[in-house]
Amino acid sequence: MSVLNEIYDGWKNYIFENPDVEVEAKRRIAICVSNECGKFTGLKTCELCGCFMPAKVRSLKSSCAIKKW
């Protein structure tokens, strides 16, 4: 899947919530905001990849830059 498709998928699922996606998104974002990661900023972005994490965690084809999920 291309990066643009991953971005589209994440934003689509961010805007139009899907209960199945939300379960995985909550698991992923919990890792991002925990001390386990340490790269989540106050602007809800990742210091490493620069992505807006509320959308990225909802793209099920995307992965963490440091392989946390």
pLDDT at 31: 94
Which pLDDT band holds residue 39 (cuts at 50, 70, 90)?
very high
Mean per-residue pLDDT of the chain = 94
Q: Which residues pair with 40 in a beta bridge?
A: 46
Q: Where are the domains of the chain?
A: 3-56
pLDDT at 48: 94
Query: Whole-angstrom Cα distance, residue 59 to residue 62?
Result: 5
**CA distance readout (Å), 51 to 19, 58, 61:** 22, 12, 14
Q: What is the pLDDT of residues 2-27, one digit of tens each?
A: 999 999 999 999 999 999 999 999 99
pLDDT at 44 over 60: yes
Q: Which amino acid is at 57?
A: V
Three-state secondary structure of 49-64: CCCEHHHHCCCCCCCC
